[in-house]
A = this chain, B = another copy of it.
């Protein structure tokens, strides 16, 4: 069995949202499991002395033009939320609450949160909003709200973010395949080629 692909992303990242539409089909096409791993870019940017792209002079303007253009090319629905970037703590913690015992639900929740926030423009920052989306796909919202306050769940998100940094992740999305990192939604073509050819 070929090793899994790892998909690092932040719910606050619109490029992560776009990539989330392609990563599972890419994995399926090449017989690779995809391991979804939300991380906290805010914590990573402290390590890299950086800041959210949306807040960067010039580059922020570019992002606001480029993301809709990229979404049209991919034919992915996009509604810019009023409150971007979101604080993705609640959604990210909820993902890890589910991951070990209910990995399919974890990814279902990730996709639903991404769709609600970037596809429909609904603010997924508040924990209640995440719980509502969870409930709408059959995941217990009340249990979610309790779980994301548990120290173990909070620690898990920190540990996963630290592990991502240790693996070299500095932005969203980043794909790890066979020890190779590819950063950016615009690199998924290279990920596909790597999987097809075994590397170059």
**A interface vs B, CB < 8 Å?**
44, 47-50, 56-59, 61-62, 65-66, 69, 72-73, 165, 168-171, 180-181, 183-184, 186-187, 189-190, 193, 200
> Chain B contacts of A189 at CB under 8 A?
189
Of B181, B193, B200, which is within 8 A of A62 by CB?
A: B181
> Chain B contacts of A165 at CB under 8 A?
58
Please tell me if the beta carbons of B181 and A73 are within 8 angstroms of each other in the complex.
no
Q: A164 to nearest B CB, angstroms?
A: 10
Please tell me if the beta carbons of B168 and A62 are within 8 angstroms of each other in the complex.
yes
> Chain B contacts of A183 at CB under 8 A?
62, 66
Of B58, B72, B187, which is within 8 A of A186 by CB?
A: B187
> Chain B contacts of A190 at CB under 8 A?
73, 186
A29 and B58 CA atoms in complex are apart in Å by: 30
A81 and B67 CA atoms in complex are apart in Å by: 35
A73/B184 contact (C-beta < 8 A), A58-B169, A171-B59 known? no
Q: A166 to nearest B CB, angstroms?
A: 10
Please tell me if the beta carbons of B170 and A73 are within 8 angstroms of each other in the complex.
no
A187 and B62 CA atoms in complex are apart in Å by: 13
